[in-house]
């Protein structure tokens, strides 16, 4: 899906780019590579990601927490850092980005009591009724939002069932499928992705340190924190729309996909001398190529006949 998303006209692309950049500079900071410069670049990147799309805010909070932890744990080295004139421009840009974020989201919280106000709070008249989101709500939403208890009584899955039997499988379908004006879910290959990541898990248990370093813990918390926020939003939508999977897109997980890719790369690097790791790397490349651009070429007369 990343291949197809990158060719679309969407704010997601730019937000994902800045998010990946923020994770990269955060990693450099954690590894002790020019603390000041990489901290500023991380701040600029994640701040711009938040200005492009508010879905990057959980990542910003996670990175800010770990940066503070890093600063406190290495305060003796930080005290010795000297100001460099060539970093003045980065400091200025970082300050502008941070102040702009505070002004935007702080204003929304103070005035509208929400990070993002609803349309009716900002625009008067019937213009909001023409929004695709408003039309979708009018056509598909339940008369009243269900409570968790009411949803269970009506036969819908409880939160635990929803996570393992609906949310995780559907998020995976929507990462490697395409969901826009039409939908294509690669049901014939999705089981191969389950096998792929199970294989990475097995190799990771073998080659990674038994006691994970702090950076691995940081990556895990960033991914889990973002996943919990996304899960909450998706489940809330299900209670509004009656579990029709409205607004459930794999691309919403992409801002933190960088930490996942770094971990996968680390597993391959640590196990590079084993035949299994080499086969796994080759299998990953082949599967990603097949599930991405090759799918269009192979199925252009069948699945994608009317897409373009």
Same domain as 230, residue 288: yes
Tell me, yes or no, whether 162 and 289 share the same domain. Answer: yes
Distance between alpha carbon 183 and the CA centroid of its chain, in Å? 21
162/292 same-domain check = yes
184 three-class SS: strand
Q: Which residues contact 194 (CB under 8 A, 6 or more apart)?
A: 172
Q: Are strands 183-184 and 178-179 parallel, antiparallel or unpaired?
A: antiparallel
Question: Would you say residue 269 lies in a domain?
Answer: yes
Per-residue exposure over 203-237, b if at least 16 CB sit within 10 Å of its own CB, e if not: bbeebbeeeeeebbebbeebbebbbebbbeebbeb
C-alpha to C-alpha distance for 273 and 144, rounded to whole angstroms: 58
Q: Do 169 and 301 reside in the same domain of the chain?
A: yes
| Whether residue 301 sits in one domain with residue 211 | yes
Domain span at 216: 143-308
Q: Residue with structure tokens 């199925």?
A: 299
300 in the same domain as 177: yes
Distances (CA, A) of 158 to 63, 148, 209, 239, 241: 32, 7, 36, 11, 15
Rounded CA-CA distance 20/44 in Å is: 12
Q: Which of 102, 117, 132 is the last residue of a domain?
A: 117
Cα-based distances in Å from 277 to 55, 133, 163, 268, 283: 34, 45, 30, 6, 10
> Do both 152 and 94 map to the same domain?
no
- What's the number of domains the chain is made of? 2
For the record, the structure tokens of 217 come out as 């813990």
User: Is there a domain that residue 171 lies in?
Assistant: yes
In a domain? residue 133: no
- Is residue 274 situated within a structural domain? yes
Count CA within 13 A, CB hemisphere, residue 100: 15
Cα dihedral 286, 289, 291, 296, rounded to 10, equals -140
Same domain, 76 and 165: no
Is 234 a domain residue? yes
End residue of a domain, out of 83, 117, 151:
117
Domain closes at, from 101, 117, 133? 117
Beta bridge partners of 178: 184
Task: Write the burial class of residue 144 (CB in 10 Å: 0-12 exposed, 13-18 middle, 19+ buried).
Answer: exposed
Q: Is 142 exposed, middle or buried (0-12, 13-18, 19+ CB in 10 A)?
A: middle
Does 135 reside within a domain? no
Same domain, 297 and 160: yes
Residue 222 domain flag: yes
Is 190 in the same domain as 102? no
In a domain, 127, yes or no: no
pLDDT per residue as tens, the chain (308 positions)? 445 555 556 788 889 999 999 999 999 999 988 899 999 999 999 999 999 999 999 999 999 999 999 988 888 777 777 777 778 999 999 999 999 999 999 999 999 999 999 888 888 778 888 888 888 888 999 999 999 999 999 999 999 999 999 998 888 888 887 776 777 887 788 889 889 999 999 999 898 888 878 898 999 899 999 999 999 999 999 999 999 988 888 888 889 988 888 889 999 999 988 999 999 999 999 988 888 778 888 888 888 888 87
Q: Are residues 303 and 172 in the same domain?
A: yes
Each residue's pLDDT tens digit, 290-304: 887 788 888 888 888
In this structure, the answer to whether residues 178 and 288 fall within a common structural domain is yes
């Amino acid at each position: 899906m990343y291949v197809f998303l990158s060719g679309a006209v969407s704010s997601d692309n730019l937000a994902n780019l800045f998010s990946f950049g923020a994770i990269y500079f955060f990693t450099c900071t954690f590894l002790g590579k020019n603390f000041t410069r990489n901290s500023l670049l991380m701040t600029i990147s994640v701040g711009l990601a938040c200005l492009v799309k508010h879905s990057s805010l959980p990542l910003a909070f996670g990175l800010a927490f770990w940066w503070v932890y890093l600063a406190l744990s290495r305060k003796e080295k930080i005290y010795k850092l000297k100001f460099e004139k060539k970093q003045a421009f980065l400091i200025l840009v970082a300050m502008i980005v941070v102040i702009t974020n505070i002004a935007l989201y702080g204003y929304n919280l103070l005035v509208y009591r929400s990070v993002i106000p609803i349309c009716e709070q900002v625009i008067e008249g019937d213009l909001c009724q023409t929004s695709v989101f408003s039309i979708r709500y009018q056509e598909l939403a339940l008369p009243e939002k269900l409570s968790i208890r009411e949803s269970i009584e009506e036969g819908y899955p409880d939160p635990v069932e929803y996570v393992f039997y609906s949310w995780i499988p559907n998020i995976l379908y929507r990462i490697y499928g395409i969901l826009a004006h039409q939908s294509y879910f690669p049901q014939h290959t999705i089981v191969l992705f389950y096998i792929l990541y199970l294989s990475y898990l097995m190799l990771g248990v073998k080659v990674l340190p038994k006691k994970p370093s702090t950076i691995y813990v940081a990556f895990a918390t960033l991914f889990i924190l973002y996943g919990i926020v996304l899960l909450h939003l998706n489940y809330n939508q299900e209670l509004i729309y009656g579990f029709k999977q409205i607004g459930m897109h794999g691309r919403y997980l992409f801002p933190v996909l960088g930490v996942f890719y770094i971990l996968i790369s680390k597993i391959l690097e640590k196990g590079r001398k084993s035949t299994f790791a080499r086969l796994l790397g080759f299998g990953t490349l082949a599967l990603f190529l097949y599930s991405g651009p090759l799918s269009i070429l192979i199925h252009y007369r069948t699945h994608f006949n009317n897409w373009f």
